[in-house]
Chain A
């Protein structure tokens, strides 16, 4: 698909089919100027909505909303993929095993200070640690996914430029050809527990909540 101004307009209007919208989102991650134009259009459309005469929102509906909160607690910050050795059937990931998952505890501790406005400072903090190795996560298509910092004790800190608009990033440790889920990243960053050198880190986009095995081609695979 050629992504021109008309396609970006369709995206801002919300009229693109899901598959094409995802393609546009990948494009926007690599083209901040285009992302800015889309944002302006979305701002205009939001202004248009806010110029409509407001409807009455009843107190009963408000109470019903809060009642729903008690029946639908917010999902945990991090949901881990469960181990599933059946993933070895996949040709691309053929020899891959699954999921010792890591990092939930670390995330829960770090989460409150990893919100977006502090993320850049957090990245710098990890990059400045003695022995830390930092690299950009650049895909083969040239898209900049974010930053990977390998700490001296083997922990991996990953900060994404932005979240996928649909689905979530899932990190996989590839060892002996087998992918093990490191984390389903429900925010823009993740700190793992120590990962032994010699393996690889892969990033895929998975449905919300993550997958037991990779369901999409990796966006990037990095040697650790």
Chain B
């Protein structure tokens, strides 16, 4: 199925084609795992959430609308939200008051994660912006929580995140970086 597009695969999954689901798993599970390992150090939780993501794809393939999202964005968004929900259920009510340097890497213990690669795109951000963006996207912290964690005013946090995303877009698309 290597020559089959993602959209065609989703169409096949909608018709309950298990081979198509396997192919989607092969294409996306490696990246879902990479994302989720940045969100939790619990390897079992990662494996379980990747499977739940593909099960959700299996259930929802008939409703996939390529006019609204690419398969890539659809699958990643499903996986990301599932993991965020899991993190929220297990998160203590208090938030951390300090953010250790390179917190995400330091919090991980597996061999995979000790060699976590910080993508070129993230490396283009200044340390504050990168850290806030990672805490938002990979840890699901709200702007308000980020303001408490970082000690920065809420408005400043919002601005940093928005500019970080704009810069990220510029890097990923090869365009200008600043908003």
Contacts and interface: CB of A to CB of B under 8 A. Distances in A.
A55 B33 contact: yes
B158 to A, nearest CB: 4
Contacts, number: 153
Interface of B: 14, 16, 18, 21-22, 25-26, 29-35, 37-38, 47, 50-51, 54-55, 58-59, 62-70, 72-73, 76-77, 80-81, 84, 112, 116-117, 119-122, 136-137, 140-143, 158, 161-162, 165, 168-169, 172
Contact of B35 (A6, A42, A49): A49
Given A54-B34, A116-B65, A42 B73 contact: yes
A98 to B, nearest CB: 26
Given A43-B70, A55-B37, 20 more contacts: A9-B158, A13-B136, A13-B161, A14-B84, A41-B169, A43-B73, A45-B76, A46-B70, A46-B73, A46-B77, A51-B172, A53-B34, A54-B30, A55-B33, A57-B30, A62-B25, A74-B58, A111-B62, A116-B67, A162-B68
A47 to B, nearest CB: 5
Contact of A69 (B21, B142, B172): B21
Nearest to A52: B34
A56 B30 contact: yes
B68 A52 contact: no
Contacts of B58: 69, 74
Interface residues of A, number: 48
Contacts of B80: 14, 45, 49
Contact of B34 (A39, A44, A55): A55
Contact of A44 (B68, B112, B169): B169
B84 A65 contact: no
A66 B21 contact: yes
B62 A77 contact: yes
A56 B136 CA distance: 25
A163 interface: yes
A116 B11 CA distance: 11
Given A61-B47, A65-B21, A42 B37 contact: no
Given A42-B73, A46-B77, A57-B30, A15 B169 contact: no
A186 B72 contact: no
